[in-house]
Amino acid sequence: MIKHRPVPASLDDPLYYLENMDILVAWVANHHADLLTEQERNRLAAFSGLATGPRALLTRMVMRTGELFRADKLRYPELPVPESEALRTLVQAGWLDPAPELSLDDLFRLFTLAELRPEFADWLQQQGHPKTLGKARMRELLAEPFNAPRALGAWLPGGGEASTVVRLQDMALFDRIRLMFFGNLRQSWTDFVLVELGVQQFESVPFTPASRAFQQRAEVDCYLQMHQCRERLENGEPAVDVWPDVPGPVDNPWLASRRDRLLLELGRQAERQGERELALEVLENSGHREAQLKQLRLLERMKRFEEAWAIACQWQATELSDAEAQGLSRLLKRLAPKVGADQPEPVDNPPLQEFTLTLPKPDTGTVELAALQHLGTDDAPVFYVENTLINALFGLLCWPVIFQPLPGAFFHPFHIGPADLTREDFVARRQQAFEQRFRLLGTGAYRREILDTYKNKQGIANPFVFWPVLDEALLELALHCIPSGHLEALFRRLLNNIKEHRSGFPDLIRFVPDAEQPEQRYEMIEVKGPGDRLQDHQVRWLQFFARQGIPASVCYVRWQDDEARG
DNA sequence: ACCGCCCACACAAGA
DNA sequence: AATTCGACCG
DNA sequence: TCTTGTGTGGGCCGGTCGAAT
Ligand SMILES: [Mn+2]
Ligand SMILES: [Mn+2]
C-alpha cells in the first residue's frame, strides 16, 4: 500500500523513533529525490539498507545534539544488538569517524570537570593556578596554550583508554532532509512523538504527494546557507565576516523575506559593532520595513541629512502601510528642519480615550490584573485577553479557509497553519472563501458557527487560536456583546496585514451584557503601568478603534504609595 | 509558520 | 549542600 | 520635562537525571 501521508509510529514500539526516521527518509527519497545529489541519494539508500541495530543507534545520535559522542554515553537497551557491535558496523560503513580530532571546547563538552582535572593538574600547578578552578575558568586558561585539535588519546593519555569518542559524519544530510520534509529547521523528529503523546494536535489537511516546501535544490541550499549565517551571528562572529556569505537577492518571495530579516539582524549587529558603513549597506539591501527605517535613522545619526531626506521623501511617495507611515512621519518631522524644508503637515490622528487609576500596589500579580480587579463587577466582568480573543473569534469563524488545502499550503502532517500565512498573496488566494465566511456575520449564523467550531476543533492547533485562554462562557459573552459589524471591521483589518495586525490588541475587555445600546456592551482597555508606554502597533489599533467607533481606552495606573512621594 | 514573536520594563540621548 | 541548568526522553 | 530609540528578559510538553556552581 502506498502511503499518502506519513503517520507517526506508535510509542508501544520500543524502536518507535527508528520507524519515524524510516518514514521520513522514505518520504524524502520518494518525493524529493530530484532535489538530492546522486551521492546523497546513495547515502540515504545505504542508510535504509543498514541492519536494525546500527540504523537505530545512528538515528539516536542524529536526534541528539552535536556530532560528537562518547561511546560509553550511548546506552540504548532497546537495541537488538550490543551498542559496541552497532558502533563497529557504523564505523565500517563510514557513518562514524572512530578517532576524530577534538578541539579543547569539544573535549570540555564531552568530559566532566572531575575527569578533566587530573589531566591538567600538573600544568595548571606549574602556572601557579589553584586546584579548585571551575570548568569555565579552566577552559579559558587552557584555550591559548592548547588551541590545536588532537585525537582523544593525545588529550587524555592517562584515563582516555576507558572511553572512545566518535564523530557523526553525515549530520548535514540529515539536517537537509529534515528541512525538505518540514520546510523549516525548527521542527524536528520530536514533532512525531508529541503528536503520538497527544501533546500537540494538528488539523488533518489533505495534501498531494507532489506538494512540498521546495521546488529546486538551489532554494534548499539558499535556506541552509542563510541559516548558517544566522547561527554564526548568534555565536558572536563579527558582521563583517558573515556578510560576504549571505546569498544574493532571490526571486522566491518566501526566501526573499527570510533574507530581509537576516539582513536586518546583520545590520543591527554591524551597527552595534561600530561598522556603520557596513550597516548602511546591509540595511539598504533588506526590504524589511524596520531595516529601511533603521537605515534612515543611522544616516540621521551620521548627520547625512540630505541623503536620508531624499530616501525618505521617495519612500513616502509610495503606497504606505500604517506602520510605515507612522515610522516615516516621525523621521520626516526630525529631518525637515535639518534640510531647511517645511515641517510636513501633521496627520490628523483621532484622539484616544484615556483615564487614570490610582491603585494600591499589589504584593503579587501584574498591573493588568490589578486594573482588572478594580474595574470588574458582577454586571460588567473584565477579562485579560490581549490578542487572544479577537484572534480566536477570527480563527474559529474562518477555520475552513485557513485550512483550505491549496497547493503549497500544506505538505506534512504537522502544520500549525498554512505555509503561506504571512505571504503577500495569502488573502488574495482565498478571497472568495473569506467573503463567504464574512457573510455569516450578516446573517447571524456566525455565532453558531464559531461555537460549533470551538467544540469540534477543541485543542487542534490554529495560528489564531490559543486554546488555554478560551472557554465557552467567554465566547458566548463576546458574541453577545460585540456587534457583528465591529467584528467584521476588526477581521478585515486583521486580514489587511496579518503579520502586523494580529497583535497590539488591548490588555482587557470589559463586557456589559445588559447595556441598552448594543454598541455599548463592551469596551477594550489597554493598561499602562508607571514607566510603560503605548507601543506603535497598539497605537495603530487604538486609532483604528477610534475611527470606527469601537469602544476602547487607555488606562494609566499610578501606585498609591508612589503618589505620596511624587 | 521560520532562534522568533509578544509583551513590559530599563536606560540613554536629544530637544 | 542545595540549587540551578540543560540534555534527553516519551 | 517630553519624546524617541534601543536593549533586556520570560515563555514556549512535562518529568528525570547528571553536572556545575
Ligand atoms: Mn499587555
Ligand atoms: Mn498594557
For ligand 1, the distance from its centroid to the CA atom of residue A455, given in whole angstroms, is 28
* Amino acid at the residue A229: C
| Letter string b/e over residues A133-166, b meaning 16 or more CB atoms within 10 A of that residue's CB | beeeebbebbeeebeeeeebeebbeeebeeebbb
State the Cα–Cα distance between residues A80 and A56, nearest whole angstrom: 9
In strand B, the nucleotides that come within 7 Å of a protein beta carbon are 1-10
Tally Cβ neighbours within 10 Å of residue A358.
Answer: 12
- Judged by C1' against the alpha carbon of A533, the nearest nucleotide is B8
pLDDT reading at A277 higher than 60? yes
- Which pLDDT band holds residue A566 (cuts at 50, 70, 90)? very low
| CA A450 to ligand 2 center in whole angstroms | 28
Q: pLDDT at residue A32 above 70?
A: yes
- With H, G, I as helix, E, B as strand and everything else as coil, classify residue A436: helix
Given a cut of 50, whether residue A415 has pLDDT beyond it is yes
| Å: A497 CA to C6 C1' | 38
Neighbours of ion ligand 1 (CB under 5 A): A 507
How large is the average pLDDT for residues A298-312? 96
How confident is the model over A552-557, as a mean pLDDT? Answer: 97
| Predicted TM-score (pTM) of this structure | 0.94
Res A319 pLDDT > 50:
yes
* Nucleic strand B under 7 Å from the C-beta of A367: yes
Ligand 1 centroid distance, CA of A527 (Å):
7
Residue-by-residue DSSP string for A449-486 = HHHHHHHHTTTB-BTTB-GGG--HHHHHHHHHHS-HHH
pLDDT of A162 > 60? The answer is yes
For residue A159, what pLDDT band results from cuts at 50, 70 and 90? Answer: low
C-alpha A526 – ligand 2 centre gap (Å): 5
Burial (0-12, 13-18, 19+ Cβ within 10 Å), A17 = buried
State what percent of residues in chain A have pLDDT above 90: 91
The ipTM of this complex is: 0.94
At position A553, the amino acid (one-letter code) is S
Q: Is the CB of A303 under 7 A from strand C?
A: no
Q: What distance in Å separates the CA atoms of residue A129 and residue A138, rounded to the nearest whole number?
A: 9
pLDDT of A160 reads 55
Say what the pLDDT of residue A47 is.
98
Q: Please name the residues in contact with A226: beta carbons below 8 A apart, sequence gap of 6 or more.
A: A246, A247, A255, A258, A259, A262
DSSP A518-565: GGGSEEEEEEE-TT----HHHHHHHHHHHHHT--EEEEEEEEHHHHHH
What is the rounded end-to-end Cα distance, in angstroms, of chain A?
Answer: 76
pLDDT tops 50 at residue A205:
yes
Q: Which nucleotide is nearest to A257 (CA to C1')?
A: B2
Under 8 Å CB-to-CB from A40, ≥6 apart: which residues? A173, A176
Tell me the pLDDT band of A207, cut-offs 50, 70 and 90. confident
**Ligand number nearest to the C-alpha of A525:** 2
Section A248-265 average pLDDT:
96
State the Cα–Cα distance between residues A108 and A100, nearest whole angstrom. Answer: 15
Residues 17-46 of A with CB under 7 A from strand C: 17
Say how many residues make up chain A. Answer: 566
Residue A82: pLDDT over 50: yes
The pLDDT value recorded for residue A486 is: 98
pLDDT, position A1: 44
Task: Tell me the mean pLDDT in the region A216-231.
Answer: 96
A109 CB neighbours strand C below 7 A: no
Residue nearest the C1' of C10 (CA based): A193
Closest CA to A336 of A306, A358, A363: A306
Q: With a cut of 90, say whether residue A348 has pLDDT above it.
A: no
Per-residue pLDDT of A37-60, as tens digits, reads 999 999 999 999 999 999 999 999
Q: Which residue is nearest to nucleotide D5 (CA to C1')?
A: A297
Q: List the CATH code of the domain at A217-338.
A: 1.25.40
Residue A556 (CA) to nucleotide B11 (C1'), in angstroms, measures 21
Compare A343 and A95 and report the one with higher pLDDT: A95
The answer to whether the C-beta of A404 is closer than 7 A to strand D is no
**Alpha carbons A222 and A236: distance in angstroms, whole number:** 22
d(CA A92, CA A208): 39
Query: From the DSSP assignment, how many helices (H) and strands (E) are in chain A?
Result: 27, 10
Average pLDDT, chain A: 94
Domain boundaries, chain A: 15-182, 217-338, 354-562
| Residue pair A413/A211 in contact by the 8 Å Cβ criterion | no
Nucleotide nearest to A194 (CA to C1'): D13
Rounded-to-integer distance, Cα A1 and Cα A215, Å:
26
Nucleic strand D within 7 A of Cβ A272: yes
- Is-contact A520 A493, C-beta < 8 A? no
pLDDT category at A342 given cuts 50, 70, 90 is: confident
Q: Alpha helix (H) ranges present in A273-354?
A: 276-285, 289-301, 305-316, 322-338
pLDDT score for A163: 82
DSSP, collapsed to helix, strand or coil, labels residue A383 as strand
pLDDT surpasses 80 at A286:
yes
pLDDT of residue A558: 94
Q: Which of residues 485-524 of A touch strand D (CB under 7 A)?
A: none
Residue A161, pLDDT > 60, answer no
CA of A522 from ligand 2 middle (Å) equals: 18
